[in-house]
Amino acid sequence: MSSPTSLFPRPPVLFCDFDGTITMNDNIVAVIKHFNPPGWETIAQAIYDDKKSVKQGVGEMFALLPSSMKEEVSNYILTNAGIRDGFAELLAWCKERDVPFFVTSGGIDFFIYPLLEPFGIPADHIYCNGSDFSGDSIRITWPHDCDDECDNRGRCGMCKTTVIRRFPQDRYYRILIGDSVTDFPGAKIVDLVFSRSHLTDKCRELGLPHIPFETFRDVVRHLDLGGLKP
């Protein structure tokens, strides 16, 4: 019997979004909505309409929250974020087959690391933005900014395509798992997308190879079959 990974034309590598993908909801949207600082809705709409970059918009929304709210903000996310079913199974699938699994997230370190802690993902396989609570308001930091090849030049914040491009397409079968705006640029340069929500609409619109999914068990099932069959 051939191993599932041999069903792919090249060794697979997975890039998985966090907010709204690994977790059931977008934690940034949830926390901002909950604490409801004046002005956040205009910023959120501008990001979605692509009138403001994700980087600028996310930075501006967190800047509406005082650093003194660090505990409250963290606790709200850590108690309300639910992990999507089948996530541990997907990680086990990758581990058993030596398939690299990266978290590529536009979310923030102070909630991503604690929420992923139970799953044993190596820290250098988690890409996300940083945070600084030393000033009056929460300041987001961007340790993984766009490289020179990103079409989105400096607008991503955490640049998913920069991470993806480190795994050349002629050597790897690149798979992206995601749900929304921050996944659009990456979806255009991978071999296969597992999509939810807005990302499914975008893939349909652009004719990108994608498989809509609900739980990570759906993803594992398709991976066992070698992804998308023509």
Interaction pattern, residues 95-114, with Zn ion; x per rule: CB under 5 A: --------------------
- 152 lines the binding site for Zn ion (CB under 5 A): yes
Residue 156 binds Zn ion, judged by CB under 5 A? yes
Q: For Zn ion, what does the binding mask look like between residues 112 and 151, x meaning CB under 5 A? A: ----------------------------------x---x-
Q: Does residue number 105 form part of the binding site for Mg ion (CB under 5 A)?
A: no
| DSSP secondary structure code for residue 219 in this structure | H
Task: Identify the residue among 4, 12, 20, 59 touching Mg ion (CB under 5 A).
Answer: 20
Rounded to whole angstroms, the Cα distance separating 62 from 53 reads 14
Is there binding between residue 159 and Zn ion (CB under 5 A)?
yes
Q: Is 7 in the site for Zn ion (CB under 5 A)?
A: no
Instruction: Please give the Cα distance from 63 to 111 (Å, whole number).
Output: 17
Query: Which of 157, 179, 199, 220: binder of Mg ion (CB under 5 A)?
Result: 179
Give me the DSSP letters along 19-83.
TTTTBSS-HHHHHHHHH--TTHHHHHHHHHTTSS-HHHHHHHHHHTSBGGGHHHHHHHHHHH--B
| List 17, 110, 161, 190, residue binding Mg ion (CB under 5 A) | 17
Residue found by looking up tokens 């997907």 in the block: 90
Alpha carbon distance 75, 77 (integer Å): 5
Number of residues that bind Zn ion (CB under 5 A): 5
Selected from 5, 129, 162, 180, the binder of Mg ion by CB under 5 A is: 180
With CB atoms as reference, the residue minimizing the distance to Mg ion is 20
Strands (E), the chain: 12-16, 101-108, 126-132, 139-141, 173-178, 192-195, 210-212
Specify which residues 127 forms β-bridges with.
104
**β-pairing verdict for 101-108 and 126-132:** parallel
Which of Zn ion, Mg ion, none interacts with 191 (beta carbon under 5 to 8 A by kind)? none
Question: Where do contacts with Mg ion occur on this chain (CB under 5 A)?
Answer: 17, 19-20, 179-180
Question: Where do contacts with Zn ion occur on this chain (CB under 5 A)?
Answer: 146, 150, 152, 156, 159
